[in-house]
Amino acid sequence: MKWIDIPPVWLLLAVVVTWWTAQLQPMSWALGGPVTELLGGLLVGGGIVLILLAAAEMRKQRTTIIPHLEADKLVTSGIFKRSRNPIYLGDLLILAGLALRWEAPVALLLVPLFLGTITARFIVPEENRLRRKFRADF
């Protein structure tokens, strides 16, 4: 069951809760639909672009994108010059964007909860593995 403990599964769970919250909470933003739809769409689009750029760079460097596996290389090129964790940042942008797009302000509380979860379950262990394996380069 270790396959289920991967970031996309956690993101999917958070997205489902966000959607469910939007369905139960018929409260709209004071700004109205078009503004939140545009902002939400930009965040979702930006998140997808970050994830694709990171995946392409990791593939180019021939290292794994799967968090539980040992990395073959420390990727510091491409989008990784700007962010150490662009995929997780992309996940956060997607989640926040969907909460805005679906006009579910209460669901924005999931963003820091999701961040805490992926930090504890994935980011800290990954960073520790990379630090041990690539020492000076890290």
pLDDT at 68: 78
Distance CA 98, CA 63 (A): 30
pLDDT at 34: 84
Mean pLDDT, residues 35-60 taken together: 95
Distance CA 28, CA 22 (A): 9
Distance CA 102, CA 96 (A): 10
Distance CA 55, CA 83 (A): 13
123 falls in which pLDDT band (50, 70, 90)? very high
Whether residue 2 has pLDDT greater than 70: no
Which of the pair, 24 or 31, is modelled with greater confidence? Answer: 24
Whether residue 33 has pLDDT greater than 80: no
Q: How many residues does the chain have?
A: 138
pLDDT at 92: 97
CB-side exposure of 5: number of CA atoms within 13 Å? 8
Mean pLDDT, residues 103-130 taken together: 92
Return the number of other C-beta atoms located less than 10 Å from residue 56's C-beta.
12
Mean pLDDT, residues 103-119 taken together: 93
Question: How deeply is 82 buried, as exposed, middle or buried, from its count of CB atoms within 10 A (0-12, 13-18, 19+)?
Answer: exposed
